[in-house]
Amino acid sequence: MSGMASDHNTSSQGEYVPHYLQKEDPFASKLSREADIIAGFYLTVIGILSTLGNGYVIFMSSKRKKKLRPAEIMTVNLAVCDLGISVVGKPFSIISFFSHRWMFGWIGCRWYGWAGFFFGCGSLITMTAVSLDRYLKICHLSYGTWLKRHHAFICLAIIWAYATFWATVPFAGVGSYAPEPFGTSCTLDWWLAQASVAGQAFILSILFFCLLFPTAVIVFSYVKIILKVKSSTKEVAHYDTRIQNSHILEMKLTKVAMLICAGFLIAWIPYAVVSVWSAFGQPDSVPIQFSVVPTLLAKSAAMYNPIIYQVIDCKFACCRSGGLKTKNSLKKSRTYTISGQRDSTAMSETRLE
């Protein structure tokens, strides 16, 4: 096949031959049949829960699409990315695990690898945008107040273009997608870094622009938010109960975004560590049985967000019913209030995005 040309060029450089170009069938499972069946059931459950949960988020949002605020639009985009991973990708791996081998050849392998990378990158960049939105809303009110719906749609266009670019770059001849060492799934060809300097440059670029840089922005944003919230807590304590309740609810809403990012990173960082070790460590030093665990954990990331939404919604319902008695106070509780001036006589208020 034409797609194999780049792989054979890689192996022709001599010193290192990746697992998918060795004598064994690269698409035959290297796991036991029992392990494949367990993994298949696991992915089936994950896929069903993710599809139902994210589908529900999208459906409920579509009923009020004209009233969605910028932060809610970002949330819907995150659900779309998670749903895409579940609908487009998981059926391929589920069928392959149950079949004890990858069933879709090199074309299916590259499609699966592209789809997983595309939606995964889209999810991470969306969370980066959400963290920046939260940072501006809480730490820089003068900027946060002008973020409107059309800014959110511009941001979505940038996110999709960014994910499309990096997911498609391997097809331009500077990288590739290849089967995992255990045979029943496909991913970015991390093993190119073992073959050439150009391969190392490609993998390092992917790591920086699609993992390290977005993660650094997320961490920076939430660290600044935490510091701002701590500094404002003493100020809020001097105000009335309504303002204190508003402050508490705002902190909870910020924790939603933090939990979403934490869940994604916890799911993906083990896989990233194993992938980096495969790229720059000793060749083939990661045991095949060990490499499948981070892969399965990463595939569960799309399931977490709807669960987080539901848990937080329940907590908000409890807070509203316990601490806010009237419809008027309930409406006011969704108002974000914070002041950067200790001596100011009034708090600045903006609608929570």
Question: What CATH number is attached to the domain comprising 43?
Answer: 1.20.1070.10
pLDDT-based confidence at 216, cuts 50/70/90?
Answer: very high
pTM, 2 dp: 0.80
| Domain tally, the chain | 1
Q: What is the mean pLDDT of residues 293-312?
A: 82
More confident residue, 308 or 34: 34
**Residue 309 located in a structural domain:** yes
Name which of 110, 123, 101, 256 is nearest 169 in CA terms: 110
Burial 25-46 (b: 16+ CB within 10 A, else e): ebbebbbeeebbeebbeebeeb
Greatest mean pLDDT range, 263-267, 271-275, 318-322: 271-275
In a 3-state reduction of DSSP, which class is residue 336?
A: strand
Which residues are CB-contacts of 244 (< 8 A; sequence separation ≥ 6)? 236, 237
- What φ, ψ does residue 5 adopt, rounded to 5°? -60, -45
* Confidence check: pLDDT of 338 > 70: no
- pLDDT for the residue numbered 323: 44
Whole-angstrom distance, CA of residue 116 vs CA of residue 204: 19
Helix ranges, the chain (H): 4-11, 33-62, 70-84, 90-99, 105-139, 141-144, 149-168, 197-207, 213-236, 241-280, 288-299, 301-323, 327-332
Whole-angstrom distance, CA of residue 171 vs CA of residue 169: 5
Whole-angstrom distance, CA of residue 26 vs CA of residue 129: 38
- pLDDT for the residue numbered 302: 85
**Residue 64 located in a structural domain:** yes
**Residue 326 located in a structural domain:** no
**Residue 330 located in a structural domain:** no
pLDDT-based confidence at 248, cuts 50/70/90?
Answer: low
- pLDDT for the residue numbered 137: 79
* Confidence check: pLDDT of 186 > 90: yes
- pLDDT for the residue numbered 315: 53
CB 350 within 8 A of CB 338: no
**Residue 131 located in a structural domain:** yes
For 120, other C-beta atoms within 10 Å of its C-beta total 27
Q: What Cα–Cα distance (Å) separates residue 196 from each residue in 12, 73, 203, 274, 279?
A: 11, 42, 11, 19, 11
- What φ, ψ does residue 351 adopt, rounded to 5°? -65, 135
* Confidence check: pLDDT of 114 > 90: yes
* Confidence check: pLDDT of 340 > 80: no
- pLDDT for the residue numbered 60: 87
Give, in degrees to the nearest 5, the angle at Cα 240 between 235 and 244.
60
- pLDDT for the residue numbered 225: 85
Whole-angstrom distance, CA of residue 200 vs CA of residue 179: 19
Q: What is the mean pLDDT of residues 92-97?
A: 96
**Residue 343 located in a structural domain:** no
What is the dihedral sign for C-alpha 169, 172, 173, 176?
Answer: positive
What average pLDDT does the structure give for the chain? 79
Task: Return the minimum-mean-pLDDT range out of 27-41, 245-259, 272-286.
Answer: 245-259
- pLDDT for the residue numbered 134: 82
In a 3-state reduction of DSSP, which class is residue 148?
A: coil
- pLDDT for the residue numbered 327: 40
More confident residue, 94 or 285: 94
* Confidence check: pLDDT of 350 > 70: no
**Residue 213 located in a structural domain:** yes
Structural domain span for residue 264? 33-232+251-319
pLDDT-based confidence at 144, cuts 50/70/90?
Answer: low
**Residue 337 located in a structural domain:** no
* Confidence check: pLDDT of 166 > 80: yes
